[in-house]
Chain A
């Protein structure tokens, strides 16, 4: 960018300028010889090409490994979801019965035991534990759950 004999410190374009002769003499003083032997170029570029090739291969390996790990994680999670027992009223699952107090997906004597323990312990009792529908949560509901636990199914099999 030539500024001719413009005065220095001109900020018109936001830059600081110096007289042409000063710039020329600074160049003579400091623009050193830049001769580089071809062997030096070759050495630098050979080293760089080998280094770059290693780094590209490494990056590809890292990307591939990450993809495999991610795919394996997806498979593992899918399998675990598939193995999970019918649970506590989650989305897409079989609705749990009100008698299933411990939420394990089954109505059995354990549920009767859980209610009995809570009644005896004076714990807060939930309305939906009124299994027999008499308006109270008490021993009668424990008995109802116990009966449901040993209910004979349609095929005559004790469940």
Chain B
């Protein structure tokens, strides 16, 4: 028996070492045209799909909370799995285009600028699976939950925009909804969109009165903990095993144009991302959507019959300098530090190893795929120009440049702290490159890891820090949060009245083009301040077995399941 066991081990080792070969980020297969046609790639017409079948999608996190509007439920994985049940007004396409959900809505129109008034017309046939129409009541209930005043004890994920609504009223038997804003809100399309979808008011009303704090609290608890038996989307829940899988099947009362071809979709919880490619290889899952890493990308590339695609997403890495630090409050030092950093080198040593498309990002407020994007950092450098950086310091009166920096008023610049999240190898490399560049200017940074990013950011316990923001297809509110004085995500303490005015005006603008022009103008001022250096857009990663049709990458919160009703299996 020991000999047999020894043979088995040899077989195991050989089989583990073999079967692969190759590597690199292959982006071909069924995703071959995704770069040029992100909204239509991997398409197969419905009549060419197999009728029936099952697709299993790997989720990286368990669905701990079924209420996507609450802080506990606003998680990408839960959103991917639950959106097929929920009606919403606007969705976001893979190319970041915001489109009306025509399955649910007939039309949406801004009928007045002052006060800003939006009229939503719901399709007559739009209904929940128990036959109750999708109506104004659903809009009113979800507004009340997210308006920040009706239920102070509730924990909504976001209140932006909902807290600016003066009224939401129904007419036309509940099929017309009129929303009036107390103050203008440029990102109005973000309300009741796929990020904050509608929940059934008639189910909520069974738990409590949604116009009162007590009622809303009960409703929040109910929706958070209860597996939905209802649906107003193309699928409905068949079964849920906590920590294991959510199974959805076609909703027989689905009123939309495209009827699902699949018998079921299983969302399988695989919390260890390194195990997902093995499950894909063994055909236990057919779709995975993990964070890309070099090893993972190469591992998937070696699996026969599998296609992968990386798309530059909405999350972007950046280095922030803490303006509360008296030494970093001096702009020449910040200018010199950012000029000395070579962003391309950072990319080449990290994400560039598995995605050659990643390039330095040039804006703090818009991403390259969004209208109005301009590179505000091209002229400012961040190319590792040490001589130019040293000249800035010398011209400003600093001494000890290149050895031990001393400020113009004679103070030695002390050792500062560069922080990143422990265990994040990419950010470790970025920190090391930044620290090495600073050292050549005579500024000593000590790298210090952190395991509580939220705590460190909110307390300002850093001198420099590298982390990521998740941007939004709705850019105005996002810019306010990260750059306006006192903004919820303005962790570096940046404050400039000119920027405040521009961004607040942009967020209150009912003219999108004018709003974007203000964003661009503000970003030039922000870039000139050299406190937040955008590095690059983080890629997202989608891999599917080649028989999966119509599934494609969507880097937004809508995720790859944005068109799940179209998914199917290629006919053999």
The answer to whether A and B assemble together is no
Contact surface of A with B, Cβ cutoff 8 Å: none
List B residues at the A interface (Cβ < 8 Å): none
